[in-house]
Structure 1
Amino acid sequence: MPMLKDDYQKIEKINGVIYNMSPAANFRHGIVNGNIYGKVREGLKNSLCLVFMENLDYKYHPEVNDDYVVPDIMLVCNRKGLKHSAYHGTPKFIVETLSPATALRDKTEKKEIYEQAGVSEYWIVSPREHAVEIYYLEEGKYKLVYSYILQEDKDEKDYNADTIITLREFPHIAMTLGEIFDKVD
């Protein structure tokens, strides 16, 4: 029987366990991903690197098994690793945007997967808290280098909406903390 449009389910397979990621996260999740994706895509205009948003499986150890995850945002530079609907290689940058259903997995299992795979920069973004954690791979382990919670009230001493965040390996790709959470109420 053919699959109907309404039958589509987004899933991930981690350590042989299938996780259903349907229904989709709320609209704030998509707004944040779109904001980050737009800035990264704009910064890659004259590059061979590509950025994907929620639409490419990442087979993080295809030589061992068929496990895969679907990062919210993934930047890849080795195009030879693109095969059908998946990437087999080491992304340069990954973002996971938290939702109530995936937060624990994003902060534990997936963080460990990306660390072991050698992904040099990993962001965990929370639309609900307007927060960003930025991890850099250093000596094979992730180190939390930056942690922000948006304060957009200019009258507050901790105002930081204009704080510029750049990608470590792509310093020309920049966005402000306010731009990440633009239109997220």
Structure 2
Amino acid sequence: MAVREKLWTYEDYFQLEDEKRYEIIDGELLEMPAPSLRHQKVIWNLAYVFRRYQEKKKRGDFYLAPVDVVLSQEHVVQPDLVFVSKDRLSIARDKGIFGAPDLVVEVVSPSTFKRDTEDKRRLYAKHGIKEYWLVFPEERVVEVLTLKGDEYEVFSHAFESGKVCSKLLEDFCLNLEEIF
């Protein structure tokens, strides 16, 4: 839902004084609804699995929503989970991630389906995010997409059971039973 008729920038966004969550995509300010309890549970389960990996491998840092990812002045998003590799940690600052993280996870809700599967997919590819995970709690599906050229292709996929693996994170796979 657009809040006003103008091109929003990060500076405008930063001046907002209410407690609502927003994203800016193509200069449009979009209010983010509160996630469902199922959505939150999946995020926490994902965070736990990624944290275990982080403690063993120490390849970079993971950040959990809400965290601002400022891709440009007209593109500020709040993915559910973000990974920044160790050699790129300079983009992670106190107020958010300023630049393209290496990996982004979106837990898809019915209210954000188009935004996550189309708008953000296009946006993340445009900004060079190497790996994009789409998690569909209702369907119990996880897709791991990797950037090839300027588009994503499916690298790993699982439905209801089984496991998905990351191309970016060495030796990282998760069983769907761990998150659903």
Q: How high is the TM-score relative to the length of structure 2? A: 0.82
Higher mean C-alpha displacement, 128-137 vs 83-92: 83-92
**Corresponding residue number in structure 2 for 1:135:** 145
**Aligned residue identity for 1:105:** R
Aligned positions of 1:36-185 closer than 5 A:
36-45=46-55, 46-47=57-58, 49-61=60-72, 65-77=73-85, 78-150=88-160, 161=161, 163-181=162-180
Determine which structure has greater relative contact order: mean sequence separation of CA pairs < 8 Å that are 6+ residues apart, divided by chain length: 1
Judged with a 3 Å threshold, the aligned counterparts in structure 2 of structure 1 residues 133 and 164 are, in CA distance, closer, same or farther, namely closer
Looking at structure 2, the residues matched to 109 and 164 of structure 1 have their Cα atoms a distance apart, in angstroms, of 26
Displacement, 1:139?
2.3
Identity across matched positions, percent: 26
Is residue 81–residue 88 contact of structure 1 (8 Å, CA) maintained in 2?
yes
Q: 1:66 to 1:84 in 2, by over 3 A?
A: farther
Paired position in structure 1 for 2:22: 11
Structure 1, unaligned stretches of length 5 or more? 151-160
- Let me know the Cα RMSD of the aligned residues: 1.7
| Partner in structure 2 of residue 156 of structure 1 | none
Regions of 4+ moved over 4 Å: none
Are the counterparts in 1 of residues 23 and 29 from structure 2 also a CA contact under 8 Å?
yes
Q: Provide the C-alpha distance between the structure 2 equivalents of 1:138 and 1:31, rounded to a whole number of angstroms.
A: 31
**Looking at CA atoms only, which structure, 1 or 2, has the larger radius of gyration?**
1
Would you tell me which structure has more helix in proportion to its own residues? 2
8 A Cα contact 2:65 2:79, kept in partner: yes
The count of aligned residue pairs is: 161
Kindly indicate whether residue 40 of structure 2 is the aligned counterpart of residue 34 of structure 1: no
Q: Is the 8 A contact 2:158 2:164 kept in 1?
A: no
1:20 aligns with 2:52: no
Judging by fraction of residues, say which structure has more strand: 2
